């Protein structure tokens, strides 16, 4: 049996393209931040611990290019730039929540497994 293996994961397949997009350290966090509503650049920056201004700019540009986020410049002084999820961006929240829920429920078990693994390594160094 087992006649039908699915296709291998080729470079351009949906899984790969998705991972290339949201598989970096900041993209998902920005989307989750914007789920609360439109936010200014500095607000987003404050809510994501450790993101540099450069990385946040890059991430937001990529999200805008992907059609997941809109960028609105209010012509004032000082400038005010507001980012907001598009409908497409919001549609990603459900699936992301699925993963987040898994993380909340199962990360403790993952970390237990890590401890066990590391302890075993110490006992049998090689």
DSSP 10: -
One of 38, 42, 46, 79 touching its own copies (CB under 8 A) = 46
54 binds, among DNA, its own copies, none (CB under 5 to 8 A by kind): DNA
Among 61, 95, 106, 116, binds DNA (CB under 7 A): 61
Instruction: Please select the residue that binds its own copies; options are 3, 15, 74, 125, rule is CB under 8 A.
Output: 15
Residue in 59, 68, 83, 85 binding its own copies, rule: CB under 8 A: 68
Beta bridge partners of 83: 39, 71
Return d(Cα 120, Cα 122) in angstroms, integer: 5
Binding flag, residue 14, its own copies (CB under 8 A): yes
Applying CB under 8 A, the span of 52-60, 72-80, 110-118 interacting with its own copies comes to 110-118
* Contacts (Cβ under 8 Å, ≥6 apart) of 15: 9
- Burial string for 49-85 (b: 16+ CB within 10 Å, else e) reads eebeeebbeebbebbeeeebbeeeeeeeeeeeeebeb
Residues that bind DNA (CB under 7 A): 24-26, 40-42, 45, 50-55, 57-58, 60-61, 71, 73, 78-81
């Amino acid at each position: 049996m087992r006649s039908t293996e699915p296709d291998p994961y080729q470079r351009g397949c949906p899984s790969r393209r998705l991972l290339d997009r949201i598989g970096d350290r900041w993209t998902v966090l920005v989307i989750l931040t914007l789920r609360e509503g439109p936010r200014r650049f500095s607000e987003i920056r404050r809510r994501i611990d450790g993101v540099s201004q450069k990385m946040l700019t890059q991430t937001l540009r990529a999200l805008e290019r992907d059609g997941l986020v809109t960028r609105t410049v209010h012509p004032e002084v000082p400038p005010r730039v507001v980012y907001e999820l598009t409908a497409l961006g919001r549609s990603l929240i459900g699936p992301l929540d699925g993963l987040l829920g898994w993380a909340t429920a199962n990360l403790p078990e993952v970390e237990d497994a890590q401890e066990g693994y590391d302890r075993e390594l110490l006992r049998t160094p090689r």
